[in-house]
Amino acid sequence: MGDEKHINTLYKLITGIHRSRDEYLWEWINTWNGQGSIWLVFDDKRIADDQLIAQYSLIPTPLSFFGKKFVAGKTENCMSHPDIRGTGIYFPHEKKCFELAKNRFKVFFTTAGDVAKGAPGRVREKLGYRAFDDWEIYSVWINGLGLREKLLSMIIPHINNNKFIGRILSYYLELLIRIFYHQTEFPLTEQFRIYNDKNVPLSHLEKLWMSNKTIYGITVERTAQYLTWRLKDNPYNNHNYFCYYENDVLKGYLVVVSDSEVFYIVDIFANNKDERIFKLILKGIREYAYQKGIIRVQCSTIKRSRFLPGILKSAGFVNFKELFCFQKRIKPKQLFVYLPDEIEKPQNSWDPRNWYVTDLIKEGRPYLDKSND
């Protein structure tokens, strides 16, 4: 405590974002696992309000490896002042603090290694992280107009900006996508209990997690303690919870953040990895989005995973990079992971198919704010 003014000043200089004291306290001081780990470098020869020149910091994140919990350190807000970049000051600072951080954390990861032209990823690789995977976005459009506009924006640059032909092509492509992905204007109706951050029974979510944690491979621990901090106490986002019950027992849920046009899925989870429940939940959110006038529902996960992308595609969600056969990166550039041998060897922890990743693993900032790491 006491350095938040200097940290927020450097943060605004780097990102252009003003972060309030309360937002800083939530993210770094009052986390689910105590204070986050922050190491700072000051230069007292600079003017008083501009003496912080480097920060290395880690947010504690509970990761479950086939049911066994490890507190992971997620790199966030690792910054160097523009005046010292290229001077060789920052990397020795991170390297020294990374070794100190191993006293608290076993696992380390970063979720946006391609920021700043890939510099964070290169720094992490020098410390022993592996380039692990990239993020992909799967979307479903609630009405045909929204989907056609998206298709038109992607087609136009490839046909000499001919809007007339673009509209024709986007219309027929939209029809094909709806047929192939079974997208309909009115998804099936299912009964859900809809909660918000004030009344959600997190004990139900935790109970569902505890009975399923061994079958979800490597994923975030969904305990009430973590969910309270990450979701309920989050000063940036208001969440809605779509909870599916059978005989008064929670069998699955989905958490969303919304703006005026989009539902962003923060997390989705179902008992026994039951595809039927996943599909019911995803149909339910589409119906609710239609009722609320939402144009699109989107969900992020990692590219090389198998289970969640398969579920999303079977429920009508589209990954446009995959659909249009965009060239895939050979080497991942966004998600970097550090695992010690004791975690790596018992199970194949380096296989992305063993990971179940949703936006719950991310920082929890506003969705229109693209700054991370």
Instruction: Kindly tell me if the per-residue pLDDT of 161 is higher than 80.
Output: no
What pLDDT is attached to residue 162?
56
Contacts of 40 (CB under 8 A, 6+ apart): 3, 6, 7, 52, 54, 55
Contacts of 208 (CB under 8 A, 6+ apart): 222, 250, 251, 252, 253, 269, 271
Q: At what angle do helices 90-101 and 119-127 cross, to 10 degrees?
A: 50
pLDDT higher for 325 or 219?
219
Instruction: Kindly tell me if the per-residue pLDDT of 139 is higher than 50.
Output: yes
User: Length of the chain, please?
Assistant: 373
User: Token pair of 30, please?
Assistant: 């009052």
Pairing assessment for the beta strands 296-302 and 262-270 based on DSSP bridges: parallel
Instruction: Kindly tell me if the per-residue pLDDT of 133 is higher than 90.
Output: yes
CB of 54 closer than 8 Å to CB of 41:
yes
Confidence of residue 185 (pLDDT cuts 50, 70, 90): very low
CATH topology of domain 4-135: Aminopeptidase (3.40.630)
Instruction: Kindly tell me if the per-residue pLDDT of 154 is higher than 70.
Output: no
Per-domain boundaries in the chain? 4-135, 144-184
Instruction: Kindly tell me if the per-residue pLDDT of 239 is higher than 70.
Output: yes
Q: Which among 169, 178, 176 is positioned nearest to 151, based on CA atoms?
A: 169
As a whole number of angstroms, the distance between CA 272 and CA 274 comes to 5
CB of 358 closer than 8 Å to CB of 268:
yes
Q: What is the mean pLDDT of the chain?
A: 86
pLDDT higher for 116 or 264?
264
